[in-house]
Structure 1
Amino acid sequence: MAKLKVLLPQFGMGMQDGEIVRWLKAVGDSVAEGEALVEIEAAKTTVEVPSPAAGTLIEIVAEEGETVDVRGHIATLEL
């Protein structure tokens, strides 16, 4: 099976990082492409980040409360 790194997206030009507020899925959960995966707070706004592909969440790299740089690895999906 192929693996896909889920990266923290950039929501605005000035965004440099974001905080993981809450994981909406747990390791082992199946996710559909576009399904909400995690809530991120950036610039005092909380946004749900959708899954970039359908698969199974096999690893959470960034835990709740952790701040991650834009394009930083936050999770891994198995496709």
Structure 2
Amino acid sequence: MPVDQDVDAHGVHCRLDELLADRGITLTRLSELVGVSVVNLSVLKNDRAKAIRFSTLTAICRALDCTVGDLLEVTPAR
């Protein structure tokens, strides 16, 4: 399923790729820091995730020194 369809389905966009680029951190390094597989982080980064555990969300935000609002945004309704 294309990324746009997933975002449209739930209206949430993950800005993980932007935050990683801003901080100069690779997905592999983030995986090591938070204890989540690269595959699962990639699913989140590419807006294919259907859900995220609060513990994962917290770990990502701590590792990237960001807030949930920095990581996730609600997309405008079409």
Normalised to the residue count of structure 1, the TM-score between the two structures is: 0.26
Normalised to the residue count of structure 2, the TM-score between the two structures is: 0.26
Q: Which has the higher contact order (CA 8 A, sep 6+)?
A: 2
Bigger strand fraction: 1
Bigger helix fraction: 2
